Structure 1
Amino acid sequence: MADTGVPQVPETQGFSTSTTMSAIGTVTETDSVVNIIANCGHETLPYPLGLLVRDHAEYTSTYTESTIADQGLVTYAKSMTTDTAGVPTPNLFNVETDKVVEFIGSDTGRMTSDENTVLDGAGISFLDSEILICPFASGTNNVNPAFCNIVQEGSSVDLTLGSLTTGTQQRYIMKKASGDGDPDLPVSDPGVESDYSIKLTGFGDIPAMGSAEASIDVHAQEGRIHLSFPVPGIHDPKAEDLVYSETTTASGDISLFQKVMSYNSKITGTGTSIIPTGA
């Protein structure tokens, strides 16, 4: 099974920033975004989903950056967009960043840059026919069972010279499905996604100097069946527990350090069929 995403709230917020700096001296940039959103509308967040029966999801998204470039020639450019509106297609995102930093340090010059993202989603069973547009992936009585998935991605560099490029993308808020039911339901077709990329080079034949690290950690816990008559406090059994971790490092004279990481969780087929008792 897979992430369903969470439906947007009626009032949405969107903002974007664009930053450009060129300096000899010191440059700093600190960013932080945290968003917790759920469709269990009568409760205070964060809310334990174990107390609910069906059709509820809760997501936590974070993004942080801390860059300090001191005693050197610095060029810094970054764009950042955050939007809580529901995403209708796979090529759009709720959080998106692009950053390019070039640094040439003096004898004592140094640049450090840390970037981290987290996307944490959990949900109780959803009827596929209520959250999927595609009729071939949404049988009438088929269910997407409970899930609890978290992915963490990011990088850290410590340089005296180098050209750094990074990019971040997160999609987890979906359009609200039609209907006036309680709770609101997501249109899950675009799928949940978290991407991160980093590229570090030098200048021409001169390599970057310093150290770089990039990593991804995933913990996926998902169900396989749905209890026909769920009772509060009794849940779909866990059928998968997947842990994945990967870290890449380089230090010294670095001609190229490049890593692309992507987490994609999308419902592409029918879920488990509900079999009534006695059938």
Structure 2
Amino acid sequence: MLCTAAAFADTGVPQVPETQGFSTSTAMSALGTVTETDSIVNVIASQELEGISPLIEGESVYTSTYAENTIADQGLVTYAKQMTTDTAGVATTNLFNVHAEKVVEFVGTDTGRMISDENSVLDGAGVSVWDRVLMICPFASPDQFSMNPPFCNIVEEGSSVDLTLGSLATGTSQRYIMEVSDAGTVYDYPVSDPGVESGYRITLTGFGDIPAAGSAEAFLDAHIQEGRVMTGIPPVAPKAEDIVYSELTTVSGDITLFQKVMGYTSTITSPGVLNF
């Protein structure tokens, strides 16, 4: 899923002065029971969280969540996962604030079963802000009156599997925290060039000629609301776009292959012009 339009896009949010990073690596191999539970929630605002509503000009706020809950019982289990979370501003498109990669193989006994759920949510909102403080390229803002309109966008992605046998691989990524703009302003603004991005992928197979057994589903839900800068003094920016998107894919039985790749990208590609 791609959401890009002339200056209609998520701006992201600038990093705070002190940044934090978490990194974990997990590897397990067992005959019996294995569990893994991960959860992270990050709420970050461009100015302050206290009294954030209503947003004033130039403000933005993002809520990011990621969760996994896996339990494999009465079987042979191999589990490997790499996860990183960083609140530092992202400068390029190939880096992320949240990134997780997981591979699980399970062969159940007569009553063996593995259940694994993953969920990723990225929710961002912001009001009108001058393009000149958001973009590095000096030609991205042709005049001092170019503005990025208000937006309110939320994207949820994830999967759920229930298996007696199978090999599962998933990947999650989010980018929404940007470097601080060097625009010489009183408040911090994000450098929005990399764009906001959320992605999820899942691959489920069996072993050789033996298919996976059980059920699996993957989903994407999105609600995109974008404004349009209009004329007037003071200028008004009514909602000009409203997209609701939902997708769910399911499979059950003997599964030779179940693969799904989903992604959301919101990038400022050209300036918005404000005419008085």
Normalising by structure 1, we get a TM-score of 0.93
Alignment of 1:60-75 (within 5 A): 60-75=63-78
| Superposed CA RMSD | 1.4
Gaps (5+ residues) in structure 2?
A: 1-7
Out of 106, 119, 123, the residue aligned to residue 120 of structure 1 is 123
Q: Distance in 1 between matches of 2:205 and 2:92?
A: 33
Aligned to 1:172: 176
More off after superposition, 261-270 vs 127-136: 127-136
Q: Which amino acid aligns with 1:143?
A: M
Q: Distance in 2 between matches of 1:51 and 1:40?
A: 10
- CA deviations 1:130-187 (Å, max 9, x no partner) are 1011233222221110000000000000000000000000000000001442321000
Give the 3-state SS of the residue equivalent to 1:152 in structure 2: strand
- CA deviations 1:176-217 (Å, max 9, x no partner) are 001442321000000000000000000000000000000000
Aligned to 1:224: 228
- Flag the 1:228–1:114 CA change in 2: closer, same or farther, 3 A: same
Out of 60, 70, 82, the residue aligned to residue 57 of structure 1 is 60
Q: How many residues are matched?
A: 268
Aligned to 2:164: 160
Aligned to 2:98: 95
The percentage of counterpart residues that share the same residue type is 68
Q: Distance in 1 between matches of 2:29 and 2:41?
A: 29
Residues 1:199 and 2:208 aligned together: no
Gaps (5+ residues) in structure 1?
A: none
Normalising by structure 2, we get a TM-score of 0.94
Alignment of 1:1-279 (within 5 A): 1-41=8-48, 43-44=49-50, 47-48=52-53, 50-52=54-56, 54-140=57-143, 141-226=145-230, 228-230=232-234, 236-271=237-272, 273-276=273-276
- CA deviations 1:21-41 (Å, max 9, x no partner) are 000000000000000001123
Q: Distance in 2 between matches of 1:227 and 1:160?
A: 61
